[in-house]
Structure 1
Amino acid sequence: MSQTILITGAGRGLGRELALQSHARGDRVLATMRAPERAADLPPEIEIYRLEVTKSESTAALASELKGEAVDLLVCNAGVFPGRGGLREANCSELDWFAGLMTNVAGPYFTVRDLLPNLQLSQHPRVAIIASVMGSNQNAAGGSYIYRASKAAAINLARNLAVELAPLGIAVGAYHPGWVRTDMGTEAAPVDVNHSATGLLERFAELSVETTGAFEDYLGNPVAF
């Protein structure tokens, strides 16, 4: 059945592939990104919106633009990976921490909060937050502190949203896409973006109020938090 899916960070990488696959199967796709000019090669049927997830006025403006329109699936995919390396290598600045936490944590929060009326118009509303196994306390390995901390917070955000939104019939899940070959993941990553996106869309389809709060990978394996 066709659905309306809104994807943040859809200008490239995993978000772009999720948009392409969703469009190919017949969904109405609302693709958001910081710079819509990057979307020149997306099919014309995909609707493109400018969105800066770190700015609440931007998410509010998008909500105003989409007022009265149902969103069946909201995919919070926009993310950054600043400060790679260990404590003595990365030399992370205040701005690096600000970018990581605002994009990877506050971004999903603002987006879900402001698009809540749109989700409530859906018959089967779902929110998918792209997290990472690197945010799991059970997989601590040191290094990449901003990314690890922000993804741990994103998982926590998803879990708490799941509790608050369950009475409204809105299901929320957190998902590890795998280490994906994208600009962020680098060419060293073992997972093809097509494979990851296909698996994630299958996971999103299975999300329901009965399974809300799930944290699993793109293959459907539960991830310990």
Structure 2
Amino acid sequence: MTIIITGASRGIGAALTNHYREDGQQVLGTSRSPTADITLDVTHPSNHKEMAEGLGDTPVDLLVCNAGVFLDRGDDLEEGFGADVWAQTFATNVTGVFLTIQALLPNLRLASVPRIAIISSQMGSSEKAPGGSYIYRASKAAVTNLGRNLATDLKSEGIAVGIYHPGHVKTDLGGENGALTVEESAAGLVERFAALSLETTGCFETWDGRAHPF
């Protein structure tokens, strides 16, 4: 099985990569670093083209879209949330996910049981809206919606799409007050990805298997 994980240089992406490698799986991690398995800045369309060309006809069994940023943490409503932060966040958290999936569709179509996992967040839930972090929340709401629509369009091709909240994890993005370690989150997510099928495509689930409100 060939697995590609974006944003694999740290945090949840690194933990997922390590977990699969320890299990003997073929894993290719992407990051902006030139030392990564695949050098990929998800905001650059040319990088996606180079990645796809480098993979050639390699089937991709599981694509984990994990790369993300949280740039508006603690911004002030009156003076924060600049237009440049909106653009940067959506370029990574939404457009970057779409471009990754779009570039790797030919490889996913070559797999026998292809799956796409999108790492979103409960912070994008419309039913749970405690305020603040408007840009990050909006980007995660958008990528959740993206995943739901892709699930509809790709089901006829046999490609399942799942959307996941990884929990409040102790990472640079999640903060030091997170309730979970990256290893705990990754272990739960691996179980969720394994259970993903055409019957559950379009699901929005937590790392520990609970259905999450949209």
Q: TM-score, normalised by structure 2?
A: 0.97
Question: 2:170 touches 2:178 (CA, 8 Å); kept in 1?
Answer: yes
> Structure 1 stretches (4+) deviating beyond 6 angstroms?
none
* Corresponding position of 2:33: 35
Question: 1:84 touches 1:90 (CA, 8 Å); kept in 2?
Answer: no
| 1:8 and 2:6 matched | yes
Displacement after TM superposition at 1:89 (Å)? 6.3
SS of match in other structure, 1:59: helix
Provide the alpha-carbon RMSD of the alignment. 1.1
Displacement after TM superposition at 1:61 (Å)? 1.1
Aligned length: 214
Identical aligned residues as a percent:
51
d(CA) in 2 for partners of 1:171 and 1:214?
10
d(CA) in 2 for partners of 1:140 and 1:220?
21
Match of 2:115 among 116, 126, 135: 126
SS of match in other structure, 2:73: coil
Q: Deviation digits for residues 153-201 of structure 1, max 9, x if unmatched?
A: 0100000000000010000010000010011111111111100000000
Displacement after TM superposition at 1:85 (Å)? 2.7
* Superposition pairs of residues 101-180 of structure 1, within 5 angstroms: 101-180=90-169
d(CA) in 1 for partners of 2:55 and 2:26?
13
Q: Deviation digits for residues 97-127 of structure 1, max 9, x if unmatched?
A: 1111010000110000010000001000000
d(CA) in 2 for partners of 1:97 and 1:90?
14
* Corresponding position of 2:172: 183
Q: Deviation digits for residues 135-158 of structure 1, max 9, x if unmatched?
A: 000110100011100000010000
| 1:205 and 2:194 matched | yes
Structure 2 runs not aligned, ≥5 long: none
Structure 1 runs not aligned, ≥5 long: 40-47
Question: 2:185 touches 2:207 (CA, 8 Å); kept in 1?
Answer: yes
Structure 1 residues 18 and 89: alpha-carbon distance in aligned structure 2, compared to 1, 3 A threshold: farther
d(CA) in 2 for partners of 1:135 and 1:87?
19
* Corresponding position of 1:51: 40
Displacement after TM superposition at 1:95 (Å)? 1.6
d(CA) in 1 for partners of 2:127 and 2:156?
30
d(CA) in 2 for partners of 1:36 and 1:217?
32
